[in-house]
Amino acid sequence: MEVNFLEFNENLPIYIQIMNIIKRKIIKGELKGGNKLPSVRDLSTELKVNPNTIQRAYQELERENLVYTQRGMGTFVTEDENIIRDLKKSMASNLVNNFIEDMKSLGFSLEDIMMIINEKIKEGR
Amino acid sequence: MMANIIEIQGLTKTYFNKKALNNVNLIIEKSRIVGILGPNGSGKTTLLKILAGILRPSSGEVLIDGHKPGVYTKSIVSYLPDRNFLYDWMKVQDAVDFFKDFYNDFDENRAYKLLDFMKLDRNLKVNTLSKGMKEKLNLTLVLSRNAKVYILDEPIAGVDPVARDQILDAIINNYNEESTMLITTHLVRDMENIFDDVVFLKEGEVYLQGNAEALRAERNMKIDDLYKEIFGA
């Protein structure tokens, strides 16, 4: 798994940032159902992050049913299409919610926001 | 099995009338990587030297694996001082032999693997090595012991970014559940991601300690920023 960053910039716990990186890879299809995640040790060396932190990220992903562990084999991305679809939905709705909150805080009404989005989409075509 | 590998109570160290450590209480759990953070003169090196059995406490109690610093603790503690400890006349190979003679827990094969990884030739003489290469050689020797506790004083101070990455890799790869690592640094940004726990030392006292991830979540900032907040103007 290629991970192209060297520094964690957000002020979030690192295990959450690692979870987010893996989630994005799943959504983009770079990690597909049944694919094996790097071993804790390998990812730890690659990212220069404490192995316990990687372990924690994997455990939390497992708790969210996005990955499963096979004893002695490693950690794999879920093959359940529904779970991946739900992940996409929740990621999309988070992005949109953040956007709407930001716009509202700048004083835009929902109608304004809709109009701006519609214009942008038309421009894009 | 003890969960705490190091227990420190009321530790004070004075040099003549200057207090280097003042009533330090600290518990270090087994199999953690712990960052001891603080600016120059905050007492980091003094604390590590006491744990390594080189300095004696003025007062207070220090227990390592249930023992006071002495012959036993020296056999389970592998210590990287903050300066080169090898003789100039030595070749890299001599340094390996020196460690092999000195420590029963020295793993020669691991040393050779690490030397390869660090790209250090066994025939080089110590006095021809650059600062970064010396640091890598010293660290190689220290990490090649099968110790219960590794104490690393400023392992990446003054080395270039490539050497720094090699050193971080070596530390991560050699960490295992049977060992505990105490690492001091003032280069917090470069090292904070490898710490389980951090201890902030300020003017010889423990100012703050905790789990690194919990502190990030609670303070909503990186450990590096927290460091700047604590020690900044």
Residue B141 has pLDDT above 70, yes or no: yes
Residues of A with a Cβ under 8 Å from any B Cβ are: 7-8, 11-15, 41, 44-45, 47-53, 56
- Cross-chain Cβ contact B193/A14 below 8 Å: yes
A to B CB pairs, distance under 8 Å: 47
User: A8 or B146, which is more confident?
Assistant: B146
Q: What is the pLDDT of residue A2?
A: 52
Dist CA B106 CA B45 (whole Å): 24
Chain A residues in contact with B193 by the CB 8 A cut-off are 8, 14, 47-50, 53
Neighbouring CB atoms inside 10 A of A31's CB total 21
Beta strands in B42-148 (DSSP E): 59-64, 77-80
Residue B167 has pLDDT above 60, yes or no: yes
Residue in chain A lying closest to B195 (CA): A50
Q: Is the dihedral of CA B42, B43, B48, B49 positive or negative?
A: positive
- Which residues, listed in sequence order, are joined to residue B63 by a DSSP beta bridge? B7
Residue B175 has pLDDT above 90, yes or no: no
Q: What is the pLDDT of residue B177?
A: 82
- Cross-chain Cβ contact A53/B193 below 8 Å: yes
Chain B residues in contact with A55 by the CB 8 A cut-off are none
Indicate the residue of A7, A51, A53 with minimum beta-carbon distance to B213.
A53
B131: number of CA atoms within 13 Å, CB side? 11
This prediction's pTM = 0.85
Is the distance from CB of B210 to CB of B198 less than 8 angstroms? yes
Dist CA A26 CA B47 (whole Å): 46
SS (H, E, C) B58-73: CEEEEEECCECCCHHH
- Cross-chain Cβ contact A12/B216 below 8 Å: yes
Indicate the residue of B175, B213, B222 with minimum beta-carbon distance to A51.
B175
Chain B residues in contact with A7 by the CB 8 A cut-off are 189
Chain A residues in contact with B220 by the CB 8 A cut-off are 11
Dist CA B131 CA B119 (whole Å): 14
Q: What is the pLDDT of residue A5?
A: 46
Identify the helix (H) or strand (E) that includes residue A102.
Answer: helix A81-105
Beta strands in B16-101 (DSSP E): 18-29, 33-37, 59-64, 77-80
Residue in chain A lying closest to B173 (CA): A45
Helix (H, G, I), strand (E, B) or coil at B104: coil
Dist CA B165 CA B188 (whole Å): 14
pLDDT in tens, B74-104: 999 999 998 888 998 999 999 999 999 999 9
Is the distance from CB of B152 to CB of B44 less than 8 angstroms? no
Residue A109 in tokens: 């009404």
| Averages of pLDDT over each 10 residues, chain A, 125 residues | 55 90 93 94 91 94 95 93 93 92 93 92 83
